[in-house]
Amino acid sequence: MKAQEFDEKFDNGEDVTSYLDLSTVRRPGYEQRRINVDFPIWMIEALDREAARLGVTRQSIIKVWIAQRLECHS
Spatial CB neighbours of 48, under 8 Å, sequence gap ≥ 6: 58
Pure H helices in 21-57: 41-54
Q: Is the pTM of this model over 0.95?
A: no
Three-class DSSP category at 42: helix
- Lowest mean pLDDT, pick from 13-17, 21-25, 58-62, 64-68: 21-25
Spatial CB neighbours of 9, under 8 Å, sequence gap ≥ 6: 16, 19
Q: What CA–CA distances, in Å, run from 17 to 10, 56, 63?
A: 10, 30, 30
Confidence of residue 69 (pLDDT cuts 50, 70, 90): very high
2-39 pLDDT per residue, tens? 999 999 999 999 999 999 988 888 888 888 899 999 99
